[in-house]
Amino acid sequence: MKGFCENCRDMVDCGEKNVNKEKSIKGKTVRYAGKEAYCEECKEEIFAAEIRDYNLMQLDAAYREAEDLIKVTDIERILERYDIGKRPLSLLLGWGEGTLTRYVDGDTPSKPYSDILKRILVDKAYYRELLELNKKRISEVAYRKSMAAAEKIPETEGNEISKLESAVKYVLMETSEITPLALQKLLYYAQGFKKAFTDTFMFEQDCEAWAHGPVYRDVYHKYRGYGYNPIEEGRLHYGNIHLTDDEEELLDHIILYFGCYSGKVLEHMTHSEEPWRSARRGLADGERSERVIEKQNIDVYFKKVKEKFKMLNFTDIKDYTKDLFCKLYA
């Protein structure tokens, strides 16, 4: 990467470094993990278009997360899911005809507009009601295409839960009490050891390197209200859990060997491991971040653990947990 250095008065090679940034948006301070470019010759900060674009993307993501606003990718999913264009959907909702185009191009929606789009994404019945009620606002062709797409979505959609949701449900049923913090760590270890033993990941969702350790975002939002208290889910049952026998057996061992520790101990364990540390590199302690813990890094690390401790089956996981605990608290 090259840029023009005002100090050197020349085009120079640029280096980059991670920095903590903040910006005031609509009276609120938004903090995010950004970057700065600097001249490799004099080390002074310089402008680089790539860094500017990266920082804008990070700022946008941090603001949307802070305000609980819909993401651009989810708006695109709506358009694909219901086979409708940006202009027709804008008109259907009674908005300006260019509204959805602006949102897809990166403009930030208001909270009320965002909430409507979020509901449309997950609630087919709500969308069909809007489509039927406001069909005169769009062409007959657009109406028929979108209604046909909506009708193709199975009525049972959403009844079958994901592998991640299945694992959450299984862990909650098999533990007497568990906090959201501890739950996140058990899910992370299940993901890592599943890849180490079978060469396939249990969950398709990415895990993020938050300040308190690995976090699956959807699980966090579902149970955030419990804070540091145990999760109380009422009467759970084994119906609608989609796990193989091997996956259930692995979770049993993860609960046995990791579930005996508190959430804070598990947090410290993950902080000592390379996947989380690598994803957090350049960030300050406690700094907010949405960085993904790359699946490749999880793969490499846990396969090394399996090899180092000569693990032949899930029971051997206990050797790693004991060793890790002793290193941290001996």
State the pLDDT at residue 188.
98
Residue 235 reports pLDDT greater than 70: no
What secondary structure does DSSP assign to 196-237, as a single string? HHHSS-S-SSPEEEETTEEE-HHHHHHHGGGTTSPP---S--
- Which pair of structure tokens corresponds to residue 84? 């409708």
CATH of 2-67, picked from 2.30.30, 3.10.20, 1.10.1740, 3.55.50, is: 3.10.20
Half-sphere exposure of 146 (CA within 13 A, CB side): 26
Which residue from 45, 25, 29 is spatially nearest to 37, judged by alpha carbons? Answer: 45
- Higher pLDDT, residue 222 or 137: 137
- Over pLDDT 90: what percentage of the chain? 59
Higher pLDDT, 111 or 305: 305
Looking at residue 28, its pLDDT comes to 79
DSSP label at residue 138: S
Q: What is the mean pLDDT of the chain?
A: 90
DSSP 94: T
Dihedral of the alpha carbons of 226, 188, 163, 170, in degrees to the nearest 10: -60
26: left (phi over 0), alpha (psi -120 to 50) or beta: left
Q: How many angstroms separate the CA atoms of 204 and 9, rounded?
A: 49
* Confidence check: pLDDT of 159 > 60: no
What would the pLDDT profile of 104-157 be if each residue is shown by its tens digit? 998 889 889 999 998 898 888 899 999 999 999 999 999 999 999 999 887 545
The reported pLDDT for the residue numbered 25 is 79
End-to-end CA distance of the chain: 46
List the single range of 23-27, 202-206, 278-282, 301-305 with lowest mean pLDDT: 23-27
State mean pLDDT over 251-268: 96
How far is it, in rounded angstroms, from Cα 200 to Cα 194?
7
Other Cβ atoms closer than 10 A to 36: 17
User: Quick one: 110 exposed, middle or buried, by C-beta within 10 A (0-12, 13-18, 19+)?
Assistant: exposed
Mean pLDDT across 30-39: 87
pLDDT average, residue stretch 282-293: 89
pLDDT, average across residues 230-257: 87
Residue 34 has pLDDT above 80, yes or no: yes
Domain limits of the chain? 2-67, 72-152, 163-329
pTM above threshold 0.85: no
- Distance CA(326)–CA(48), nearest Å, equals 46
